[in-house]
Structures are given as structure tokens and as C-alpha cells.
Structure 1
Amino acid sequence: MQSSFLNSLGFDPGILMIVLLLIMALVLFYLAHVSMKMSRFLKRYKLFMRGKDGASLEKAMESEFIEVERIGEQCKNQAAEIQHIKDIMRRTPMKTGIVKYDAFPDVGGRMSFALALLDQDNTGFVLNAIHSKEGCYTYIKEIVKGESYIVLGEEEKEALRQAVTTYSNNISHV
């Protein structure tokens, strides 16, 4: 195929045909790619719109927004309840220390004991049960922030030390 116009421009018609065929092939591949994307989009759109018109879709979305708001409010309420439980737990005795001992030389078996029960602020009490041949006598001493305004015996001091030092404040990070 000879063309005087192409010859005057210095183009070989065979090369021009090959270039045009390559461009057409690229356009066809691009068209196939776009067609596949469009097909996937239409499938998703049909699935989304199945059985719904504009009004029913709006109602469905509105009900979902109401549900999200309800769940958000529920989360706020639960956060407040959790904080309330943490406050209660802070004042609940959970630190313990116990020392068993023989109160009198003639009474063995370490039946006497000092028991310390403290909350997270190291406030609570030390209960001292002294066992003798005549009976068992219990005494309680108040502890405020790890200190007692009444003099403590050695066993009571040890029980208090155990309660204060052996329990880590696990509830503070809950």
C-alpha cells in the first residue's frame, strides 16, 4: 500500500499500521478491565439495593443510626457503672496478712493469731485472737492509711506489714 501523502511525510504505512494495531490492543485491554470493574460494582450495588427503594433504604439507615446511638449511650452507662464498682472495690478489704503464734508458753499449737484486713488505701483493721486455757479473746484495732492510733503488738505489726506489702494494687489498672 502506497500513499503519496504518507511518503511526503516520511512515514512507512506498514509501521503506522502496526502502531495503530498496538494502540487498539491496549484500548481493548483497558476496556475489558473497566468492564470487569463495572460488573463487580453493579453486583455490589444490586446486593445493596436488593428489595429496597430510596425510602426503605433511608429507614434502614435511620434505624441503624438509632441503634448506634443506643449502643453509645449503653457504653457510657456501663463506663459509669464500672467506675462505681471500682470505687466500691477501692474500699473493700482485699489486702490480708496473718500471723499465727503462741500467746502463752503453756498453750501450744499456735492457736492465737493476728489478722490484718485492709482496703487499697491501707485502711481497715487488725483482729487479734488470743487463745488461752480459759478461752479465746478477740481484740480489734482500727488501721487508717497503714497506721494505728493504738499501740500494736509484734504479731499485729507483722500481720499489718504483710497486708501492706504483699498485695499489689491490681485493681487500679482494671
Structure 2
Amino acid sequence: MESQIFNSMGLGNLDPAILFFVLIGALLIMIIVSIVQTSRVKKLEKRYNKFMQGKEAESLEDEIVGLFHDNRLIRTENEKNRKDIQDINKRMQKTFQKIGLEKYDAFNQMGGKLSFALCMLDENDNGYLLNSVHSTDGLNYCYSKEINGGVADVELSEDERAALEKALSSTDR
């Protein structure tokens, strides 16, 4: 059997049976490759479906949208917390943070150290010094002195100065 096509390609002496077997072999190889590829696609599809399954059968898209929503909520809470912390820090500057207490015996009696000087200062060393003097007859006298920038507005006694120094040095925590 002669063919002009085979002759023009230089295969005029080729037996058609050989060509038939080559084509059958190529067809079998293509069928095997197709089966392997179909198997891979099915595995990939199973993995994809499993990946798309969220909690309680929610889709992955719903899960991602929920995460974005949660992220927005966390950001707003974070900003609120930041503002609250700034407000707290601003308020803390005015609170008494440094305290010094000096107990003493006002009249050198044998009754013990019933008198005291209490100094309370804020962050900027502003505050008050309270002096409570216990007398021999059982009376108690209380005096207050204002402190601005770590300095009293009037002269301080030795015990009051000691209480002020304790308050000023109480920042070493």
C-alpha cells in the first residue's frame, strides 16, 4: 500500500501495521496520563472542599469576613483603651504618689511617739504636709502646710523636714 503522503515525508516504505501499533501505544500513554491527571484533580478538589469548610459548615469566605469584622472591633477597642490610659495618666499626675511619715515625741515625754508629720506629694512634688502634735494633757493639735515643687510655703520644723525628705525620696521604687 503506497501513500503519497508517506512518500512526500520520506516514509514510503513504512509498513502501515507499524504505524498502527505506534498510534495505539501513543493512545494508551495518553489514556494513562489522563487517568493520572483526573486522580490528581479529584484529590485537589477534595482538599479544596475541605479547606473551604469552616466551623459548623461555614464557608471560608464567611470566616474571613468575620475575621475582618473582629479586627475592626479590636482596633476600636484598642483606640478606646489608648485614650483611657492617657486619661488615667493625666489624672495620676494630680494624685498623691509620694508619702513621707515621721513619728516623733513632741514634748520628750515618756508617752511614746504619738505626734507625727505626714507629707503627701503628687508627681510634680506638690501637696500638703500635715503635722499632728499630741500634747501632755491629751489634746491633739493639727497643722497643715502647703508644698509647691518640693518647697514649703512656710518654715518647717526638723520633723516636718524629715517627712518632706522621705516623701521626696519615695520616688525610688
Tell me the TM-score normalised to structure 1 length. Answer: 0.65
d(CA) in 1 for partners of 2:64, 2:129: 61
Q: Percent identity among equivalent residues?
A: 38
State the AA in 2 paired with 1:145. G
Find the partner of 1:161 among 141, 161, 165: 165
Change in 2 beyond 3 A, CA 1:43/1:130: farther
Match of 2:152 in 1: 148
Match of 1:139 in 2: 143
Change in 2 beyond 3 A, CA 1:131/1:47: same
d(CA) in 1 for partners of 2:123, 2:153: 19
Find the partner of 2:91 among 84, 88, 91: 88
Change in 2 beyond 3 A, CA 1:51/1:166: closer
Structure label with greater radius of gyration: 2
d(CA) in 2 for partners of 1:116, 1:66: 51
Q: Which stretches of structure 1, 4 residues or longer, exceed 6 Å deviation after superposition?
A: none
Note the 1:117-136 alignment, pairs <5 A: 117-134=120-137, 135-136=139-140
Q: Secondary structure at the match of 1:166?
A: helix
d(CA) in 2 for partners of 1:165, 1:122: 11
Give a deviation string over 1:134-167, Cα, whole Å, max 9, x none.
3000001111111111111111111000110132
Match of 1:11 in 2: none
**Structural RMSD (CA):** 2.7
Q: Which runs of 5+ in 1 are unaligned?
A: 1-34
